[in-house]
């Protein structure tokens, strides 16, 4: 099987899609398939499990998106199937232009994310589904038209699958396939200390909540791994709050270093305003680190309150801070949550998850 993959972002970019793309490509290549990646980037790709074609992200949007679509279409004509975890409109155009089936991994509501990014909407994902207005309606209709072209839709959480059905998408084409856990790693004797966040620094992650929550745990420090458009604002927020000595922004790191940092933390933090099925939570739990997270989206499908982490309402530094306080001040609770963390992701074996995606790609190719 020959597959063209459109991941949207690729290492050295960080975030769930940047992890998913190389892992899936590596798995498919290892299974004897051919993979070609077409993506946007700000620099040379740092992972090359297969040929990777990049389009300069620094170009004006119409130019770079047009080039991405053109390159994806050309690649798709030499392939059997198009697989996209982002840039869905380009993927749909490539599918139509090449007459190849499209399989899309839905990682969010693209209309909602665009509305938030453009300042058209500031509420929750659930509220957005009910919101009206000419511009929001146009975004929703465009999203649904594009995704309706997919022969198969892969969704990591039941939460997002239910929302997608509400868009009028065919429920029979929707398949819930969770994000995989990293391979199990041997335990280390390293003493755990501090807190860690790993992921894209975007408004979605609401990291200002985690920063403000540090007021309730004044003796601990927070390491923030990752980069993104919100980094400068968060660095200024930390400075204004007098947290310079307690918060470290270390930028993007290779995944093994991210996992090492998570394994050395007392707890991971995820203060997001909205989520699907976060890679960050899966990675923390896989190395036995409990997580303090907000009760948004599909987080509750991976984080179980009192079993492998603690859940709090979104947007409340006080609630988040008190949860951190409970974990950090109680070795017994921390040990119990850590014990529950690894077991909670046993069913998310990467070979099993990517094998399921392989099955769906092969099924899409068959007449």
Is 86 in contact with 6 (CB distance < 8 Å)? Answer: yes
Q: Name the CA radius of gyration of the chain, rounded.
A: 20
Cβ–Cβ contacts within 10 Å for residue 367, how many?
A: 3
Instruction: Domain of residue 167: give its range.
Output: 2-180+349-365
- If asked whether residues 43 and 93 sit together in one domain, one would say yes
Assigned domain for 188 exists? no
- If asked whether residues 105 and 29 sit together in one domain, one would say yes
- If asked whether residues 155 and 208 sit together in one domain, one would say no
- If asked whether residues 266 and 140 sit together in one domain, one would say no
- If asked whether residues 10 and 101 sit together in one domain, one would say yes
Assigned domain for 189 exists? no
Assigned domain for 7 exists? yes
- If asked whether residues 214 and 82 sit together in one domain, one would say no
Assigned domain for 262 exists? yes
Assigned domain for 286 exists? yes
- If asked whether residues 155 and 281 sit together in one domain, one would say no
Assigned domain for 358 exists? yes
For the CA atoms of 197, 201, 202, 204, the dihedral, rounded to the nearest 10 degrees, stands at 0
pLDDT of residue 254: 86
CA distances from 149 to 82, 102, 249 (A): 12, 7, 41
- If asked whether residues 220 and 311 sit together in one domain, one would say yes
Is 265 in contact with 195 (CB distance < 8 Å)? Answer: yes
d(CA 344, CA 340): 6
d(CA 291, CA 323): 10
Among candidate residues 361, 316, 341, the one with its CA nearest the CA of residue 154: 361
- If asked whether residues 36 and 160 sit together in one domain, one would say yes
d(CA 87, CA 42): 16
pLDDT of residue 189: 46
- If asked whether residues 336 and 360 sit together in one domain, one would say no
Number of domains in the chain: 2
The pLDDT averaged over each successive group of 10 residues in the chain (367 residues) is: 95 84 97 98 94 95 96 98 96 97 95 93 92 96 97 97 96 96 70 93 94 96 94 97 94 90 97 92 96 96 97 97 97 95 93 97 93
For the residues of 237-302, what is the DSSP string, one character each?
HHHHTT-TTTEEEEE---HHHHHHHHHTSSEEEE--S--SS-HHHHHHHHTT--EEEE--TTGGGT
d(CA 354, CA 347): 13
- If asked whether residues 209 and 84 sit together in one domain, one would say no
CATH, residue 20: 3.40.50.2000
Assigned domain for 186 exists? no
- If asked whether residues 170 and 230 sit together in one domain, one would say no
Is 11 in contact with 18 (CB distance < 8 Å)? Answer: yes
Instruction: Spell out the residues 6+ positions from residue 248 whose beta carbon is closer than 8 angstroms to its own.
Output: 221, 222, 223, 224
Assigned domain for 111 exists? yes
d(CA 46, CA 23): 13
pTM across the whole model: 0.88
d(CA 79, CA 77): 6
């Amino acid at each position: 099987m020959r597959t063209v993959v459109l991941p949207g972002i690729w290492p050295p970019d960080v975030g769930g899609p940047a992890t998913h793309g190389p892992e899936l490509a590596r798995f498919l290549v290892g299974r004897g398939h051919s993979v070609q990646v077409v993506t946007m980037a700000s620099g040379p790709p740092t992972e090359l499990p297969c040929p990777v074609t990049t389009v300069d992200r620094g170009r004006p949007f119409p130019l770079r998106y047009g080039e991405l679509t053109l390159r994806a279409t050309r690649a798709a004509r030499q392939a059997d199937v198009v697989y996209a975890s982002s840039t869905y409109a380009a993927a749909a155009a490539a599918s139509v232009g090449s007459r190849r089936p499209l399989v899309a991994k839905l990682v969010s509501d693209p209309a909602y994310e665009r509305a938030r990014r453009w300042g058209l909407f500031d509420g929750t994902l659930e509220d957005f589904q009910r919101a009206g207005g000419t511009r929001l309606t146009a975004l929703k209709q465009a999203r649904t038209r594009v995704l309706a072209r997919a022969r198969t839709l892969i969704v990591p959480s039941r939460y997002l699958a239910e929302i997608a059905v509400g868009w009028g998408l065919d429920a029979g084409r929707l398949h819930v396939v969770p994000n995989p856990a990293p391979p199990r790693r041997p335990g280390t004797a390293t003493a755990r200390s501090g807190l860690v966040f790993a992921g894209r620094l975007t408004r979605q992650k609401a990291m200002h909540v985690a920063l403000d929550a540090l007021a309730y745990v004044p003796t601990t420090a927070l390491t923030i791994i990752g980069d993104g458009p919100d980094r400068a604002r968060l660095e200024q927020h930390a400075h204004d709050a007098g947290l310079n000595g307690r918060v470290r922004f270390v930028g993007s790191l290779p995944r093994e270093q991210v996992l090492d940092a998570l394994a050395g933390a007392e707890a991971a933090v995820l203060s997001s305003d909205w989520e699907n099925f976060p890679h960050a939570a899966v990675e923390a739990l896989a190395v036995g680190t409990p997580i303090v997270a907000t009760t948004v989206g599909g987080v509750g499908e991976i984080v179980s309150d009192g079993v492998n982490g603690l859940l709090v309402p979104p947007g409340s530094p006080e609630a988040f801070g008190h949860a951190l306080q409970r974990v950090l001040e109680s070795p017994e609770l921390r040990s119990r949550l850590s014990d529950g963390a690894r077991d909670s992701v046993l069913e998310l074996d990467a070979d099993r998850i990517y094998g399921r995606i392989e099955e769906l790609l092969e099924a899409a190719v068959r007449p």
